[in-house]
Structures are given as C-alpha cells and as structure tokens.
C-alpha cells in the first residue's frame, strides 16, 4: 500500500483499503484520561507506547487510523516526536494515517502546514491531514496542491459533530447556500477536474447530524464521519446519512468506544472488528 501513493490518489487508496478490511477509521487519542486508564505515564513515553499499541492492534483490522495531534502536542516537542514514531510505524505497517490536525491558515503559512503533514520527506508525513476552512477554502489551496502531487489527501471540516458549530456552519452565504453546503459544492468541483488528482479533497461530517441539502453521493472524495460510539452516532445513523455514497468513500470514525478496550492488543482488535462489521452491514 505504501507504494501506491505515487500513482493512486487518496480516495482510491482509501477505497482499496476499505475493500480489504471494511469501513472504519480508528482514532488514536492518547488523552491524559486514557493514558491513566491504560496504566501509562503522562509523558512522551506514554504517548509513544499508546500509539504503537494502537498501530499493532489496528493493522490489517481497519483501513485507516487517525492520530489526534492535539493529544501529542499537549506535551510539546517531545510529544510530537512520539507522534513521528507512531506515523512511521503506520507507514511501515501499510496502515493509512490521517493526521487529525485541524490546521487552517493562509498563503505561505498554509504551505508550511501542508509541508509538515503531507510532504513525503517530513518526519510528520501522513496520508492525509484535516483542515478547518474559516479563512476560506481558497486559502487552503497550497495543501490541496501538495496533496495532489504526492497522492495524499486533505480533509476539510464542513459539519462538525458538536452543537456549537451549527450557527456558523448553517449561515447563509451571499450566493445562497449555507456555509457548509457551499463548501461541499466547491469541494465536489475540486474533486471533479479542479485538481490534478480526483478525490484529493475529503470532508468531515459528523455522524450524529441530519442530512444536508447537498447530495453527498456527488462529493467525489472521502467522507470522514466522527461521532460513532460515545458521541452518540450509531451504525444506523451512518446508514441513513451516507447509505447512498459509493462503497469505500465513507469512513466512520470511532475513538473512545474502541480505545476503552485497551491496553490489551487482542481486546482492542476485537472491539475494532466488531464495530467494523456493524458498519459494513450498514454501508454495504
């Protein structure tokens, strides 16, 4: 799988991996609480052990993992060094990794964030990164371009799974559509000829929310759907929201509900397989 990204785009790589193992993105969320639950120290050593345990458990069980950058960054440069080791382990295992970084800036600054997470020579290189679009989708272009050039992806938060985001995300643009529907339409255009590689740009859409006006089957990119498990989303919600989307395009994401099974590798693996099969039954 690590060899494919010079030829396949991100969406194709995800679809191939989902075809093997089923649709589930497993979060790697070493919060202080979970480190304590796993009997690990609240240190870079703890973060590294937590992350490498997840990689061992989830390899060949799920198609994609999603390390939450904030929990590594909390411990500064030492924490980020632990994340570099976790991302290297993913590459070695052929396990796709989405860096959940939620970066978002303009110009040369956005270019620098893209280089950090998407340049194949970076120690933090992942297969995709998440970004936020408050400064406008167009400002994120340096990330889209670098992702397309390297077979990687950029995943734009459009509908977050939390209630506090609804007022902004449903605001009406001067062009008519809501902020989130306009973003979805613009991203569909990027995926349909707007970039060198189709399927480079994906979206985050919370699995706990109502359907939007935009037909998600037309997106042409990966849909990352957090909120399955603890946040209240069920496999049924996933089916209702995303059932019309092409197989291999939807990645429901679960974190705490899986990680509560740790630190035992076998128990983590079983939790992920059970969730994966529930989702496979719904998404086909």
Task: Specify whether 102 is catalytic.
Answer: yes
232 binds a second copy (CB under 8 A): no
Assigned token pair, 173:
């643009």
124 binds a second copy (CB under 8 A): yes
User: Collapsing DSSP states into helix, strand and coil, what is residue 224?
Assistant: strand
Applying CB under 8 A, the span of 162-170, 214-222, 239-247, 270-278 interacting with a second copy comes to: 162-170
The answer to whether 96 touches 17, Cβ cutoff 8 Å, is: yes
Tokens 């632990």 belong to residue: 82
Question: DSSP state, 171?
Answer: P
Assigned token pair, 13:
């790589």
160 binds a second copy (CB under 8 A): yes
Query: What's the rounded Cα separation, in Å, for the pair 205 and 250?
Result: 10
192 binds a second copy (CB under 8 A): no
133 binds a second copy (CB under 8 A): yes
169 binds a second copy (CB under 8 A): yes
Query: What's the rounded Cα separation, in Å, for the pair 90 and 125?
Result: 10
Nearer to a second copy, 12 or 132 (CB): 132
212 binds a second copy (CB under 8 A): no
151 binds a second copy (CB under 8 A): no
Residues in 73-112 that interact with a second copy by CB under 8 A: 73-78, 80-81, 83-84, 102-110, 112
- Among candidate residues 2, 4, 42, 102, the one labeled active-site is 102
Nearer to a second copy, 96 or 183 (CB): 183
Smallest separation, CB 68 to a second copy (Å) = 6
26 binds a second copy (CB under 8 A): no
Nearer to a second copy, 71 or 214 (CB): 71
Assigned token pair, 207:
């699995």
Strand partners of residue 233: 228
Q: Count CB-CB contacts under 10 A for residue 143.
A: 28
Residues in the chain: 284
1 binds a second copy (CB under 8 A): no
Query: What's the rounded Cα separation, in Å, for the pair 11 and 249?
Result: 7
Q: At what angle do helices 265-283 and 44-58 cross, to 10 degrees?
A: 50
Which among 120, 60, 109, 108 is positioned nearest to 269, based on CA atoms? 60
37 binds a second copy (CB under 8 A): no
Give residues in contact with a second copy (CB under 8 A). 31, 33, 68, 70-71, 73-78, 80-81, 83-84, 102-110, 112-113, 115-116, 122-124, 132-139, 157, 160-175, 178-179, 182
Catalytic positions, written as ranges: 102
């Amino acid at each position: 799988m690590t060899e494919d990204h010079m030829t396949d785009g991100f969406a194709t790589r995800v679809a191939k991996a989902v075809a093997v193992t089923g649709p589930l993105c497993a979060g790697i969320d070493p919060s202080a609480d979970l480190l304590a639950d796993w009997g690990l120290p609240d240190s870079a050593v703890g973060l590294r052990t937590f992350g490498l345990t997840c990689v061992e458990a989830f390899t060949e069980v799920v198609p994609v993992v999603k390390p939450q950058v904030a929990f590594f960054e909390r411990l500064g440069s030492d924490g980020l060094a632990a994340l570099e080791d976790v991302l290297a382990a993913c590459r070695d295992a052929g396990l796709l990794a989405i860096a959940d970084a939620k970066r978002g800036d303009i110009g040369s600054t956005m270019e620098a964030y893209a280089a950090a997470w998407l340049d194949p020579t970076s120690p933090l290189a992942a297969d995709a990164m998440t970004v936020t679009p408050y400064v406008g989708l167009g400002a994120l272009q340096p990330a889209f371009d670098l992702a397309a050039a390297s077979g990687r992806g950029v995943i734009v938060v459009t509908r977050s799974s939390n209630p506090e985001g609804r007022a902004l995300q449903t605001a009406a643009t001067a062009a008519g559509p809501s902020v989130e529907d306009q973003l979805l339409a613009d991203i569909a255009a990027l995926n349909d000829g707007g970039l060198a590689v189709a399927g480079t740009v994906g979206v985050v859409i919370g699995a706990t929310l109502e359907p939007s006006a935009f037909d998600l089957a037309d997106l042409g990119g990966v849909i990352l759907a957090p909120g399955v498990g603890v946040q209240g989303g069920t496999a049924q919600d996933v089916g209702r929201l995303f059932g019309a989307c092409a197989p291999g395009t939807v990645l429901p994401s679960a974190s705490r509900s899986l990680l509560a099974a740790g630190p035992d590798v076998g128990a983590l693996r079983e939790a992920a397989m059970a969730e994966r099969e529930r989702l496979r039954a719904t998404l086909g």
